[in-house]
Structure 1
């Protein structure tokens, strides 16, 4: 579909192509049925072979996304079986066209045209494959017609070139429209999960990211971070400088904990969800964040300094993120009461124990 299509959009389009099996089933059954009718009317067993290959290709196409052993090659199977089906339609149309059964010729040509229409409306996701299918099917009719009426060869060749050019243009137009629509949807979804000021996750985004992280069975620590002295920066330098500082805080958190999910709750409060194997590691991580937050900041209107206090809790998969947020919030209040600029770890058995940053 072209290297300029973003990877996430590409995956969505491929998934749609691989999962929509109903049109594929009807298309293969239709072409196999036409081949079987041609066998009964002509007695030529090659039509049975066409029908058998068609059904075997369909079975492989349907099974590929569902069988674990074939999932790695599912997209290749989809493309190869799609080309094989088009070849069977083209050969079927050609063999019927060479004969003198007018009713079968009309039936096969009508079936081939229907197949081409289905390809244009569905396989625009892979326009080069779709165009190859249309060319193969169209050649089946043109070869048989050219053999019977060679005087029309220049006309049908010109018509074929024009037809394929229009088909290619139509599919690429559909692809461009779909890419734009999916890109807009994905961007809208991303924006709905992000804090507009800092670009890190918002509360909704954190909950969604937490589900993915917990699904990996990681032991996760939640850090509730609040900036110390942020109000004074806003009062002294203005809200513009405060916003600039918050953006810098978010970037420092991303640089300090690149594997973490970072969320701005609002104001100067941040939540950081990160893998942590034990309490001592969580405390060291919090101390590292406090040191990073305490380095001087340069804003558009002058230098600024803030500190950070952190409450720490561990995420229980059964109770989820909300309980951990309450525990980390309680630990944060203890950190501030103890003098700020430090981290406190919540311990369910004995309340909260303090760890100085």
Structure 2
């Protein structure tokens, strides 16, 4: 004999045999012994004797509600049925556990609220399933009976509240504050009624159960209407919520009002609810993961674009070197970090003639060639095009003699470059002005000193390097 309701203080059965013998078997809350089975049942097996069983008597101590009593007298269940039952329960519990862990990881990584609510939903359904199927009795046998039944009711209604919380967190943005408050109030009401139904005395349980079932039905209908309304207004999250929760919502309503499942052995429809909720949590976890992945792609694209714009803001588009702004930023940073700081200003000699004789395209090619040559100068901390044909090189910790050598290396690299313009090869020379200052000096002081040295090199005949007077004293 199989009893599917365990919300009682005690159950006792009496097997009467044809020869007048009787055998009694009993269980009490907190002590089901070996008679509980995974699947939420208590089984009483009539011992085999030479004479058949003539009748069976069963008694209950403080049953919560007669309607909850579900008793079946059957032969030994076929092995395939037991395997199928174990498979459904095991798969459902595993999927719920994976969904719980997955959503917690997503919530931690993304720092977003919807995965938290989805994790709470999965956790409540998992707790309900562990209690209803009595799987938890493997590790906590003292919870057998009324305690498990009450907690299962509480977790089942809490799961509905978490589902509504997920809706508000994921799709409730476009909804008015007043309507959001009303939806949240319904979620709280469902949880409160669930707590009342779980812990109220047996005499009041029918009224509490009716109120709870009516509230769940109203919440399901109302939430469906809101999702459809928001979907029509372009709320994609409301559409996703409707798709993901429709099947478990229908399964819950079917189990409440039909009190059975689709399969013949699914009394109460709990296997239907477990399977629907398990598949829903996995599907919804995938949807949330895809949505967050799309958000991450958009964020990475925005960051890449921002990085590109920042780089372009300090880059000379013709040569690819730092522009004046970017070069000045590098100089100012180095002036705060090290001493001495050396600035070399380089100006291409008679560059106007190149443009006049060969055209601006050839002039641009010369500028690019000069930039390429300067890029290979050793010890350069930064290289930039400061405007027109003027370039800047930045170095640190150079002596005056090494600073002059550094400038001449740059000039020699420029002189070796040849740019083809039609049948002609263009080569240019450059003049350089060098300045060196200690840390803490501002950029303009460093720049003006190098600029004066550059003009001195121009006045001295070009194609040479000059050092600012302060370096001669160093």
Same fold (TM over 0.5): yes
Partner of 1:185: 306
Alignment of 1:239 onto 2:365: no
Residue 310 (structure 1) shift: 0.6
Identify the residue that residue 277 of structure 2 maps to in structure 1. Answer: 156
CA distance in 1, matches of 2:370, 2:292: 46
The CA distance in 2 between the partners of 1:209 and 1:116, in whole Å, is 51
Residue 342 (structure 1) aligned with residue 464 (structure 2)? yes
Q: Residue 190 of structure 1: CA displacement?
A: 0.8
1:201 to 307, 315, 322: 322
| 1:289 paired residue number | 410
**Is this contact kept in 2: 1:293–1:306, CA < 8 A?**
yes
Residues 315 and 321 in structure 1, CA contact (< 8 A), matched pair in contact too: no
For the Cα contact (< 8 Å) 2:342–2:396, is it kept in 1?
yes
Q: Secondary structure at the match of 1:303?
A: strand
* Aligned residue in 1 for 2:59: none
User: What residue in structure 1 maps to residue 444 of structure 2?
Assistant: 322
Cα distance per residue 1:42-66 (max 9 Å; x no partner): xxxxxxxxxxxxxxxxxxxxxxxxx
User: Could you tell me how far apart the structure 2 residues matched to 1:299 and 1:323 are?
Assistant: 39
Mapped contact 1:335–1:343 kept (Cα < 8 A): yes
Q: Is the 8 A contact 1:261 1:273 kept in 2?
A: yes
**Cα distance in 1, alignment partners of residues 382 and 310 from structure 2:** 17
Note closer, same or farther for the CA distance 1:153–1:111 as it changes in structure 2 (3 Å cut).
closer
Cα gap change, 1:214 to 1:104, in 2 (>3 Å) = farther
Q: Does residue 174 of structure 1 match 2:292?
A: no
Map 1:119-138 onto structure 2 (within 5 A).
Answer: none
CA positional deviation for 1:317: 3.1
Instruction: Give secondary structure in 2 for the equivalent of 1:264.
Output: strand
- Structure number with higher helix proportion: 1
**In structure 1, distance between residues paired with 2:271 and 2:128:** 17
Contact kept in structure 1, 2:335 and 2:441, CA below 8 Å = no
- Contact (CA 8 Å) 2:344, 2:407: kept in 1 or not? yes
Give the Å deviation of 1:318: 2.1
| Separation in structure 1 between the aligned mates of residue 445 and residue 435 of structure 2, nearest angstrom | 9
Other-structure match for 1:254 = 375
Q: Aligned partners of 2:328, 2:313: CA distance in 1, in Å?
A: 12
Residue 305 of structure 1 pairs with residue 427 of structure 2: yes
1:68 is aligned to none
**Contact 2:338-2:396 within 8 A present in 1 as well:** no
Which ranges of structure 2 fall in alignment gaps of 5 or more residues? 1-107, 132-147, 172-251, 253-268
CA distance, structure 2, for counterparts of residue 149 and residue 304 of structure 1: 87
Native 8 Å contact 1:296 1:303 kept in 2: no
Larger radius of gyration: 2
CA positional deviation for 1:191: 0.7
CA distance in 1, matches of 2:158, 2:336: 54
Shift of 1:343: 1.0
How many residue pairs match? The answer is 252
Distance 2:299 2:379 in 1: 33
Tell me the secondary structure at the aligned position of residue 255 of structure 1.
coil
1:163 to 1:111, Cα distance in 2 relative to 1, 3 A: closer
Q: Is the 8 A contact 2:433 2:453 kept in 1?
A: yes
Secondary structure at 2:446's aligned position in 1? helix
CA RMSD of aligned residues (A): 3.9
Alpha-carbon shift at residue 185 of structure 1 (Å): 1.1
Of 208-217 and 175-184, deviating more is: 208-217
Q: Which moved more, 1:183-192 or 1:271-280?
A: 271-280
Q: Is the 8 A contact 1:222 1:328 kept in 2?
A: yes
Q: Does 1:210 align with 2:331?
A: yes
1:252-293 per-position Cα deviation (integer Å, ceiling 9, x unaligned) = 111124742111111110111122331111111111011111
The unaligned stretches of length 5 or more in structure 1 are 1-77, 121-144
Contact 1:312 1:331 in 2 (8 A): yes
Matched-pair contact (CA < 8 Å) for 1:222–1:312: yes
